[in-house]
Structure formats: structure tokens, C-alpha cells
Amino acid sequence: MGVQSLAKSHKEFKDSYGRRYEDLFKELAQKGQAPKSLFIGCSDSRVVPNLITHTDPGEIFVTRNIGNFVPPYDPNRDNSATAAVIEYALMHLHVANIIICGHTHCGACEALFEEIPSNENESNLKKWMAHGLAAKEQAEALIPNSNKEQLLRSTEKFNVIEQLNHLLTYPAVKHKVQSGELHVMGWFYHIETGDLDYFDPIEYKFTPLEHLESK
């Protein structure tokens, strides 16, 4: 989609969606945002948080990055956008939920099995991908390399679990979880079907999200 197409799409947005939510937009501008959940997702263009959660503007606070990675807490690290979002969501928006959402056919997880060139054009990418290596290693320990599809699906799921572990290294997150003020959850989105699974830490498996409705 070129720039001209985007301009046309914006006009269509204002003529339809914009008018439909005109009052909501004004209210959000006047009163500010008060989302209850932080959604940490992948930058993949096929994963659209508000679409797959069927939520309106103002309902979820969103950050996206390659691989839906969460760098472990490190007060000495140079600025991390994801870490800053987590801190802002907790300390200023007072969200009650943090969701880390992985997905099928994740290019970042597939790239973990490839060699990223060591050059100045991809130096940041190479460093960033290190946050997913533990998930790759866990999948390789269980799934033979000959079964590529199963290996990738397992890596994608282990990645969600590993990023949840990283999330819990943040002091504010750990404190709020222990006090009952915060709930953290791992989701897994199936691009081909639109289905969502959640990670059950008790049974250590992913279960269809719709099962939560009956609990």
C-alpha cells in the first residue's frame, strides 16, 4: 500500500469509523486514557491487537516489537523502549493486566535459526534477537530439527513463556503480582484461524482462551 492509498484509507476512516466513534474520541481527548491492560505484541503486520481483542480505542495500552520480546530487567542497560512502556503502564496508567502475545509463523522466531550478518546495518537487530535464544534452545531440546514446522511452533510458544519470565524480573511487576494488583498472562495467536490460546502455568500448556469464559 503506497502513500496515496494510505491517504485514501485515512479519509475512509474519518468518514466511517471516525464518525461512529466521534463522541468516544472527544471523551478520550478530554479525560485522557485509562486502559486496564498492557498488550505486548509482535510488530508483525498480521497481528493487530485491537482487532483480535475486539476492543475500542482507549481500552488497551499497546507496545509492539520484533518477536514480542521483553528484555530482562537491568537498571544499567541503555534506554529500552519496551522497559519504559512497562514502567509507564504500571506506575502511571496503573494497568491491572499485562499480556504477552506471540503468534504462529513468527518471522523473529524463524530467524533465530538463521545467521544474522554482523554488519552495521543490522547490529541492533542481532543484539535484539538474543532475547529469544533461550526459547530456541528449549524447543531444540524437545523437537528434532527434521520437523521444521513443529520446531518453529514450539519455539514460538516457548518464547511466550520465556518473555513472561523476563517480565517477572521487573521489581514493580513482581511486587504487584505478589500483592494481587497485577495479573500477567501469555497468549498465542493463530494467524491462520484467528484463534487465541493462553498459557496455563499450572498445567504448563496452552489452552483455548475461550475456556476462560466458563471459569
Instruction: Return the amino acid letter for 189.
Output: Y
Catalytic residue among 101, 103, 131, 166: 103
Tell me the C-alpha distance between 64 and 138, whole Å: 24
Catalytic residue among 10, 20, 46, 211: 46
Residue carrying C-alpha cell 487465541 = 196
Catalytic residue among 101, 106, 109, 153: 106
State which H helix or E strand residue 132 sits in: none
Residue carrying C-alpha cell 504500571 = 90
**Any catalytic annotation for residue 101?**
no
Q: Which residues contact 197 (CB under 8 A, 6 or more apart)?
A: 187, 188, 190, 206, 207, 208, 209
For 44, how many CA atoms within 13 A lie in the half-sphere containing its CB?
21
Catalytic residue among 10, 15, 23, 44: 44
- In 104-195, beta strands by DSSP E: 183-189
Residue carrying C-alpha cell 513463556 = 161
**Any catalytic annotation for residue 44?**
yes
Sheet holding 205-208, edge to edge: 60-65, 37-42, 97-103, 183-189, 196-200, 205-208
Instruction: Just list the catalytic residues.
Output: 42, 44, 46, 103, 106
